[in-house]
A and B are shown apart, each in its own frame.
Chain A
Amino acid sequence: MRRLVALVGLLGCFEAMAADYAPLPVTRFHSVLPADGKAAPASIAAFSMRTEPVTNAEFLAFVIAHPAWRRGNVPTVLADGSYLAHWEESLTLGREALPAQPVTQVSWFAAQAFCESEQARLPSWYEWEYAAAADAKRADARSDAAWRQRVLDWYGRPASSSLATVGGEANVYGVRDLNGLVWEWVDDFNALLVSSDSRDQGDGDKAKFCGAGALTFQQKENYATLMRVAMLSALKASDTTRSLGFRCVRNL
């Protein structure tokens, strides 16, 4: 009987902690990275996205349940030396990591493992870009110069300033903090700038890339988004940085 009570208590606890996911409808999205390298829109199936980035408190609950992902237990091939280094101890957040701040200093492998633990996955770049193109009133705010300027202004903020907590203004889908809080991992972060087309290169030594269709950027004025692509492309999957967090998505 006592066991039952404990179980119910545990379930209640899970319920309280379950993250909010908001649905995004199917779309054909004009990405800064055209699907075919020329102009084709990306086909995106309906999915749901965490309304907020994963917080320190949520990641702490994850490492409590999954000791392999505690600081000190993770091999360097899966997360570099600064993995969760701003936490006071492996199971204590401390002063530098408030519970409601987005978790940062997590590697792509760790982010993937977290999402898997809640039956979710990391978003693809297209899914993330699609969600992040919306503001509070419009599904696609990217043609608005003022919107673009706000994103760029955030990039200009010094990395040393402390992070805000999650819970910014919701966009039309009910998703928050896509722009203006942290950078976020995407599943295919290491795929974004694979661009050279081998057929353009006569020299076998330089035939580094295989496959049809070179990647070119559309919407070149949209360099706020392009900067994010460049930043993600420069990362290794084991890298962790002070301003890089993540959120998860689920198929619908």
Chain B
Amino acid sequence: MKRLLLSLSLLLFANQICAEQALPSDSVYQAQITLVDQSGQQWRWNEQRGHVQIVSMFYTSCTMVCPMIVDTMKFTAQKVSSAKRDRLHLLLVSFDPATDSVAVLRDYAQQRKLPAPQWTLARTVQLADTRQVSALLGLQYRQLPDGEFNHSSELILLDAQGRIVARSDVIGRVDMEFVQAAERTLADD
């Protein structure tokens, strides 16, 4: 019995190793980051593996371009005609983890009508990890003395393995090339 348990646990362990090895070298999930989302749930960044995702960064107190980023993400997802659209996840990570608490993220999701499970609004658990997320995604941001942020605005398409397959800096209308990239990625998956 003991031996069986041992070999079972070895098997599990081996499985885990295999799964880790299979993660591509250029996957953003190679980085170890813990996020907390609008429902208060904490998870590792790489648990999104297996889902095609559109990702961007924002902060809730931003009244300028951020609402446009959110709208652009919404309309982009609506344009995806694939039967697999339900499997397209939308992830927004906050630039401002000090302000964007779980409650603030939850209120924002409600007000802006961004329902789970398709939408995830999250912040990093460690404040310093926000810079890692932006570095992995190739987004720039800078906090100003008045608490506002200057930041670049882009939608980023991650395949199921966490590789960046497309990005778009078109904000305010739908970038059809990006939609097509999402459809292709969902079809390949």
Question: A108–B170 contact, CB under 8 A?
Answer: no
Question: B26–A77 contact, CB under 8 A?
Answer: yes
Interface residues of A in 132-157 (CB under 8 A from B): none
Question: B135–A208 contact, CB under 8 A?
Answer: no
Q: Interface 1/0s, chain B 152-172, versus A by CB < 8 A?
A: 111000000000000001111
Question: B64–A109 contact, CB under 8 A?
Answer: no
Q: Interface 1/0s, chain A 99-113, versus B by CB < 8 A?
A: 000000000110010
Of B30, B62, B135, B173, the most chain A CB neighbours within 10 A belong to B135
Question: B150–A194 contact, CB under 8 A?
Answer: yes
Interface residues of B in 41-72 (CB under 8 A from A): 58, 62, 64-66, 68-69
**Which residue of B has the minimal Cβ distance to A203?**
B172
User: What's the interface size class on A, roughly?
Assistant: 35 or more
Residues on A with beta carbons closer than 8 Å to the beta carbon of B27: 75, 77
Bound together, the chains give a CA A121 to CA B172 distance in angstroms of 37
The reply on B7 being an interface residue by CB < 8 A is: no
Bound together, the chains give a CA A109 to CA B69 distance in angstroms of 27
Interface residues of A in 184-228 (CB under 8 A from B): 187-188, 190-195, 197-199, 204-205, 207-215
The reply on A66 being an interface residue by CB < 8 A is: no
* Contact of A77 with B30 at beta-carbon distance under 8 Å, contacts A205-B173, A236-B138 already known: yes
* Contact of A77 with B65 at beta-carbon distance under 8 Å, contacts A211-B149, A213-B144 already known: no
**Which residue of A has the minimal Cβ distance to B143?**
A191
Bound together, the chains give a CA A209 to CA B169 distance in angstroms of 10
The reply on A23 being an interface residue by CB < 8 A is: no
The reply on A117 being an interface residue by CB < 8 A is: no
Q: Interface 1/0s, chain B 131-145, versus A by CB < 8 A?
A: 110111011111011
Question: B132–A109 contact, CB under 8 A?
Answer: yes
The reply on B128 being an interface residue by CB < 8 A is: yes
Residues on A with beta carbons closer than 8 Å to the beta carbon of B28: 77
Q: B: which residues have CB within 8 A of A?
A: 23-28, 30-31, 58, 62, 64-66, 68-69, 128, 131-132, 134-136, 138-142, 144-146, 148-154, 169-173
Top 5 closest pairs, chain A to chain B, by CB: A204-B172, A210-B65, A237-B135, A191-B142, A75-B30
Q: A: which residues have CB within 8 A of B?
A: 35-37, 40, 43, 75-78, 108-109, 112, 121, 187-188, 190-195, 197-199, 204-205, 207-215, 236-237
